[in-house]
Amino acid sequence: MDTHTYPVTRTDAEWRARLTPEQYAVMRNHGTERPGSCALLYEKRAGTFSCVGCDQPLFESKLKFESGTGWPSFNDPVPGSIETTVDRSYGMVRTECHCSRCGSHLGHVFEDGPPPTGLRYCINGVALNFEPAA
């Protein structure tokens, strides 16, 4: 059980009211959306991707790349916006990433991304909002 306290907290009822059933399953129950199912996978405009749970900016579009996995992928997050934990589910050891402000599950980070970081933040699109640059 996660006992970490986040700056933004909500009751289960408040989360359910704020999120769609799919967002709730992903963000609060560590689920995964079906690959290729989110329109943000194809988003190419300049702008910022933020957390659906608390509106914190998470990723800048200039660091988004096509990974071929079916989920939006990024090289690097906005500094301080992402925290990680070890995920041992499904018989694997992965690095889970979640929002540092509200603790919502976003996806996982892998060490198979392109330069300069070599990282691939593989993020569930339903956990993101997109704000185009002005």
Query: Catalytic site residues?
Result: 122
Cis? peptide before 72, omega within 30° of 0? no
Phi-psi region of 107 (alpha: psi -120 to 50; beta: other; left: phi over 0): left
C-alpha 43/C-alpha 1 separation (Å) is 35
Could you tell me which of 86, 97, 90, 102 has the C-alpha nearest to residue 120?
Answer: 97
- Number of separate helices (H) and strands (E) present in the chain: 2, 9
